[in-house]
Amino acid sequence: MKGKKTLLTKEGLKELQDELDDLINVKRPANLKAIKEARALGDLSENADYDAAKNDQAELEGRIKKIEKMLENYEIIEKTSNDVVGLGSTVNIKYIDDDEEDEYKIVGSQEADPFMSKISNESPIAKALLNKKVGDIVEVESPNGVYKIEITEIK
């Protein structure tokens, strides 16, 4: 039985493929070299360089496996229209209480990066926005209480 599909934009798929390529073809060989050099220093029981390189290797291999698993079972998010908010939409919003404005791109959870204004379709704000239109005012439930936002533009 296959697990849940990883939802990705075309850009997100390319980023994952590029990251996997870098991990396998650049970082893995560099890590193996670091392990070999640390091993050459002698006693492994008190060799901090060796321990660090082995820890790096475990993280590296874990990330490779995680990306490979995502790439085995993904679905490309196709934005269908600019009329309603959906996966892949970029949405401009205005907070009703303070007239602040923000822009978010709604992506799958694996691509979410709040620092780049990419929010997961599973986040409270995205859930409130999905399938809504420009001019709609929606309520968003947050740990600090409910607040209202207005959709000002869908791209």
Its domain, for residue 34, covers 6-76
What is the reported pTM?
0.78
Q: Please check whether residue 93 is in contact with residue 153, taking contact to mean a CB–CB distance below 8 angstroms.
A: no
Do 27 and 67 lie in one domain? The reply is: yes
107 and 62 fall within a common domain: no
Q: How many CB atoms lie within 10 A of CB 119?
A: 22
Domain membership of residue 81 (yes or no) is no
Average pLDDT, rounded, for the chain: 92
Asked, for residue 82, whether it belongs to a domain, the answer is no
pLDDT digits (tens, 9 = 90+) for 31-60: 999 999 988 887 777 788 899 999 999 999
Q: Check the CA dihedral 20-109-94-150 and report its sign.
A: positive
Q: How confident is the model at residue 2 (pLDDT cuts 50, 70, 90)?
A: low
Q: Please answer whether residues 84 and 133 qualify as being in contact, where contact means their C-beta atoms are separated by less than 8 angstroms.
A: yes
Domain end marker among 31, 48, 76: 76
Q: pLDDT per residue over 24-39, tens digit each?
A: 999 999 999 999 998 8
pLDDT band at 93 (very low <50, low <70, confident <90, very high): very high
Cα distance between the two ends of the chain: 36
pLDDT at 44: 76
Domain count, the chain: 2
24 and 69 assigned to the same domain: yes
1 assigned to some structural domain: no
54 in any annotated domain? yes
Last residue of a domain, one of 26, 48, 76: 76
Report the C-alpha gap between 11 and 36 in whole angstroms: 36
What count of other Cβ atoms lies within 10 Å of the Cβ of residue 29?
10
Q: Are residues 69 and 105 in the same domain?
A: no
Please report which residue ranges of the chain form alpha helices under DSSP H: 10-22, 28-39, 48-72, 124-129
- CATH number assigned to the domain comprising residue 140: 3.10.50.30
- For the ranges 3-12, 51-60, 144-153, which has the lowest average pLDDT? 3-12
Q: At which of 15, 45, 76 does a domain end?
A: 76
Torsion over CA: 68, 70, 73, 75 (sign): negative
Q: Which residue has the tokens 């997100």?
A: 12
The pair of three-digit structure tokens given for residue 139, joined into one six-digit string: 């309520």
**Residue 61: pLDDT over 60:** yes
- CATH number of domain containing 62: 1.10.287.180
